[in-house]
Amino acid sequence: MKYIFNFSSINLGCNKNLVDTQFLLGRILWFNTLNSNYEVNYFANPDETEVEYIFVNTCGFLSSGRKEMMDTLQKLINDGKKPIVLGCWVQYFQTLDKNNAPELLKNISLLSWGDLDKITVLDIIKGYSSQKFEEFEFNNNVRAYTNSIYSFEYVKIAEWCNNNCSFCIIPKIRGKQKSIAVEKVLSEVENMVKSGIQEIIILSQDTTRYWIDLYGKPAMFELLEKLEELPYDFKYRLLYLYPDIVTLKQLEKLKTFKKFIPYFDIPLQHISSNVLKRMWRFYDSEYISQFLEFIDKNFETRFVRTNIIVWFPWETDSDFAELKEFLEKWYFDNVALFEYHDEPMADSSKLDNKVDDKTISERFNILRKIVDDKLEFKELSKKWTQQEWFVMDILENTLMVRPWLNAPEIDSYDEVPFELIRWVYNDDWEVDIGTKIIYIK
């Protein structure tokens, strides 16, 4: 008997989740090579009529993400699909909030990552559902590179987090940090580069603390030195750099790395030391200023991105004024503003002195205008300058191009008319998605 398994996937949440989904796809497609009784067909579009099964990798970090998950599942069920659910949303209810788990969880297939090492496609077809959470040895398995067409991919160097920020529940859902061995990271990067991927994006929940769980001290820079030694032509960037354990001496070392893209993704969340203490962050306003000043003076070409949480409990007028002055002073290239809200299982939800709705609205609008004006000025300053890197989409008369400093799926792209292309990095001047070009912004 021939078993037909027509499937697709939906990835919700962060890019770390996407790496997990890619290993999931690789594992399922690998099943197809093991048994001639299986016909496994992957569809990129989950709305295709042929699709019967849809793997949904979920985010449980915020209540808004959990609501998105419920809405997504309900739509899939209404459309006659069979969802198979993995990830943080499932584990949130398994570990933190069993009494409020939605009824929907009882009527759909749930998988833990560890199940993928033990089950087959036939088990999934028969409706296998996990009874407990187990880990999956990602780096021992096949991975599908879904972004390779765009010439970039993500490498996750660690799982989970040790920080216990008061507004975050990730350690409570998934546990403490688990770093991936250097040898496995280097092997994955080597496989990517040999597959034609030109940009590697290194990430984890806290990239700066890589190795601390294995050897008692962070060793991110030791990993970067190993990457620099690889005899291949590629670039890499880092996501999620916390400034509390990165020294200025280490930043100085970054200047010597030839493959490093000077992209600084620094999720500060606030500038007031009073607020940072209540967030359980391990740095203060003085060191943040030193950190950013050093980048400003030592990296003439760079891209600096941050996240800010507005109106955290006990954020006083003075704290807000300090934040406002900070955003007016520093010329970030991308600033994500988030409105604080109580996450029921987070420690910050127990804090009193919440900011009232009227003040919330006023503060957010003030900061939004500051950020928009600063970023608009930055973009105008780049007008008619020569830029380069990858084509992300081809429209009727223009190209969507990602400037080389901008991170994919995070930062803005440029829309460039064909006549402003100055160089194409191939012999025949053919432009396709993933092609590297030089253009006038």
Nearest to 336 by CA among 356, 316, 314, 307: 307
352 domain residue, yes or no: no
* pLDDT class of 220 with cuts at 50, 70, 90: very high
Three-state secondary structure of 236-249: EEECCCCCCCCCHH
**Listed residues 244, 265, 286: the one ending a domain:** 265
The answer for residues whose C-beta is within 8 angstroms of residue 50's C-beta and 6 or more apart is: 6, 41, 43
CATH number assigned to the domain comprising residue 10: 3.40.50.2300
Q: Are residues 108 and 159 in the same domain?
A: no
Q: Are residues 59 and 11 in the same domain?
A: yes
Question: Is there a contact between 171 and 191 (Cβ–Cβ < 8 Å)?
Answer: no
Query: Residue 300: is its pLDDT beyond 90?
Result: yes
Three-state secondary structure of 289-348: HHHHHHHHHHCCCCEEEEEEEECCCCCCHHHHHHHHHHHHHCCCCEEEEEECCCCCCCHH
Q: Are residues 19 and 116 in the same domain?
A: yes
* SS3 call for 3: strand
pLDDT at 107: 83
Q: Are residues 150 and 117 in the same domain?
A: no
Q: Are residues 153 and 182 in the same domain?
A: yes
Number of domains composing the chain: 3
Rounded distance between C-alpha atoms, residue 69 and residue 59, angstroms: 8
315 domain residue, yes or no: no
Which has more confidence, 10 or 131?
10
71 domain residue, yes or no: yes
CB environment 157-188: b (16+ within 10 A), e (fewer) = bbbbbebebbbbbbbebbbebebbebeebbeb
CA angle 202, 269, 408 (to 5 degrees): 35
* pLDDT class of 130 with cuts at 50, 70, 90: confident
Domain boundaries, position 403? 386-440
Q: Are residues 86 and 152 in the same domain?
A: no
* 171-189: pLDDT as tens digits: 888 888 999 999 999 999 9
E strand or H helix at 361, and its extent?
A: helix 357-381
